Each structure stands twice: as structure tokens, then as C-alpha cells.
Structure 1
Amino acid sequence: MSFNSRMKRALSGLAIATCLVGAIPAFSFAQGLPGLTLWGGVKREDNLNFRLDYGGRSGSWDRYRLRIPEKKMQLAVAQFAISYPDYYKGEFDPKRVEVLVKDKPVPLQEVNWNKENHMIEIFPVDPIPAGSRVEIQLSNVRNPSFGGMFYFNCQVLSPGDVPLLRYLGTWVISIT
């Protein structure tokens, strides 16, 4: 075997190894972000963006950053209600819930975790203005022991509105 062919093989192997090593951090970083749904599920316009700060591993502690874009906030919001499926066996800490509007925390009047009805209710002191970019942070979350895909639905109540929750969208959260 000539020197040139050995050199080409060595460079090819090095290139493949570099790609594989570079893919590992990108893959682990992507675990905390929304994935790709191939079929079924939520309509594209109803899919809300999120981030899991600590990778969404089953049985571990995490922080959920549930985002609502400006275009979804068509009316002011006096209450957020986040429902989740009954098979989600994680735990939430109502004392560690925060609402950020345009990256600034807003004071909260009350946060209720209704375990029986699988819902987290968040009441800001003042209504969140229409057209605001909102991020709901659920810190100190204990992920369920078994992984799966969980649909977290966001509903809101506007001030002075008929007291019925209005659907805004869904976060499709995958725990591995």
C-alpha cells in the first residue's frame, strides 16, 4: 500500500471521527428542545415552543421553560391554566413557578397545583398585556420515572371575559 493511499485512509478516518465526536454534544443539547413529530399530534399552528434545561431525563430534576409567542397573546391574560395528561407522574413545585414577560419576571398572586385535575393554575397580580412574549418557568420539577411523550395544554382567561378558559396551544414534551 502506498503512502498516498494510507494518508487518504487516515484522513478519512479522522474526518469520520471528528463528525461523530462533534455530533455527541449537539445530540445531548437537542434533548432539551422540542423534537420533530412525523405524524399525528398537534396542528403546527398550535404547537408551542419549550426548553427543558436539564435534558428531560426520566426520574431526574428539571426546569421547564414553556414559551408563548407574541402572536398567540391576542388578548390580555389574567390566568394561565396548564393541563397535562393523567399518565404524567412527575411532580411540580408551585413555589418555584415564575412568569417572564419580555424576559422580565412578573409578580404572581397565586400558583395552584391541582393534582386531582392534572392542572397548574397561575394567577399574575396584574393581567399580562396582549402581544407580549411570555415564558412560564416551572423549576424544581421531578420528571416522571418512566419516559414518554406528554401533551401540556395552555389555556388562558382574559380579564373581564366570560369565565371560560380559552385554548392557546400545546407543548409536546418528551421525557427519555
Structure 2
Amino acid sequence: MRRLLSALAVTGCVIAAVPTVSLAQSLPGFTLFSGVKSENQLPFRLDFGGQSNSWDRYRLRIPAQKMKLAAAQFAITYPEYYKGTFDTKDIEIQVKGKKVPVSEVKWDREARLLEIFPEEPIPAGSGVELILSNVRNPAFGGTYYFNCQILAPGDVPLLRYLGTWILSIN
């Protein structure tokens, strides 16, 4: 009887010590065979778990070391087979945890391009988080490559590639 109680007590402690699984999904530490070099993979978080055919919030991050130029525009392209929707009225930019005013958001569905324009250019060397709220995930799961490009103020009007977010929708 003593052994049984001891075994139950140890089992209870082990079960209680296991951390609770979070609903949020974020960039894995190591991705095999993505076709995107690890230095070009950008971190992200899907606040509501990335479930297919459900609402979510995408937190697309750009580390400070990637922001070598100031940004007057962020351009996000996504694949043709991504059939989700974006709420252009509920997109924000955060720098160092502080909200930056957004002057305009354009979504060209045919070109699969989401353009985000801050009121003032984001300084070079700033860590940026693009928050896309009220996103409707595609009805079918899959892996989706969202590419990030920026336009520097006063620069030749060419978008410069910063990296790729590799999102998995279950």
C-alpha cells in the first residue's frame, strides 16, 4: 500500500509539473526543408493557434538587426493558395511595444499584396511588430510563406526584401 501511495504521489507531481500547452503558435527554432535560409526566417506569433477557418491575430515581427534602413512602407506578399482574409481597418504597427500611427493600409487581393504605410517612417535599427487583427484563416490548413519587403524614404522606389514568415495553419 505504501508503494502504491508513493507511486501516486510521484505521478501527481510529475503531471502537475508539465507546463500547460499554449494556444499561440510561433516560429519554431529549427525548420527543415523550408527553402528559406534560417537568416531570412522572421519570427511571428499566431495568438489564437492558427486553426483553419477561424479568426486569428498575426503578430509578424521584424528584428532590429533586420531593419538596416528606415521604412516608409511595409509590403507583405503571400502565396496564391492562401485564401484567408485581412481586416485592413484593424492593422497596427508597434515599435518597442508602442503603437505607431498608420496612415493607410492597402490590400490588393489579385496581386496578393498587403501594404502598410506608417504616418512617419520607422527609424532604422528599430524592432517592429506588424499586428494583423481579425484575420480569417484559410478553410484548409497548410504552410504559407509571407514575404516582407520595405520601402525606404527618399530611396529609389524599389521594395527591399527583409525576410519571410513561415506560417502553418492547422
Q: TM-score, normalised by structure 2?
A: 0.91
Gaps of 5+ in 1: none
Report the Cα distance in structure 1 between the residues aligned to 2:116 and 2:63, rounded to whole angstroms. 18
CA RMSD of aligned residues (A): 1.7
Alignment partner of 2:160 out of 139, 158, 166 = 166
Alignment partner of 1:6 out of 4, 7, 22 = 4
Report the Cα distance in structure 2 between the residues aligned to 1:9 and 1:75, rounded to whole angstroms. 60
Alignment correspondent of 1:39: 32
**How is 1:47-126 mapped onto 2 (pairs within 5 angstroms)?**
47-126=41-120
| Counterparts in 2 of 1:38 and 1:140: CA distance versus 1, 3 Å | closer
Whichever of the two has the greater Rg, that structure is 1
Report the Cα distance in structure 2 between the residues aligned to 1:38 and 1:81, rounded to whole angstroms. 24
Other structure's SS at 1:94 match: coil
Alignment correspondent of 1:127: 121
Quick one: which amino acid aligns to residue 40 of structure 1? F
1:8: Cα distance to partner?
4.3
| Counterparts in 2 of 1:132 and 1:17: CA distance versus 1, 3 Å | closer
Name the structure with the higher helix share: 1
Report the Cα distance in structure 2 between the residues aligned to 1:9 and 1:67, rounded to whole angstroms. 45
| 1:55-74 Cα deviation digits (max 9, x unpaired) | 11111111111111111111
Report the Cα distance in structure 2 between the residues aligned to 1:127 and 1:47, rounded to whole angstroms. 23
| 1:66-119 Cα deviation digits (max 9, x unpaired) | 111111111111110001111111000111111111211112221001100111
1:36: Cα distance to partner?
4.6
Other structure's SS at 1:57 match: coil
| 1:131-151 Cα deviation digits (max 9, x unpaired) | 111110101100111111111
| Counterparts in 2 of 1:9 and 1:103: CA distance versus 1, 3 Å | closer
Query: Is 1:152 matched up with 2:146?
Result: yes
**How many positions carry a matched residue from both structures?**
169
Report the Cα distance in structure 1 between the residues aligned to 2:121 and 2:132, rounded to whole angstroms. 19
Gaps of 5+ in 2: none
1:6: Cα distance to partner?
2.6
1:47: Cα distance to partner?
1.0
Quick one: which amino acid aligns to residue 26 of structure 2? L
Report the Cα distance in structure 1 between the residues aligned to 2:127 and 2:116, rounded to whole angstroms. 16
Quick one: which amino acid aligns to residue 5 of structure 1? R
Quick one: which amino acid aligns to residue 112 of structure 2? H
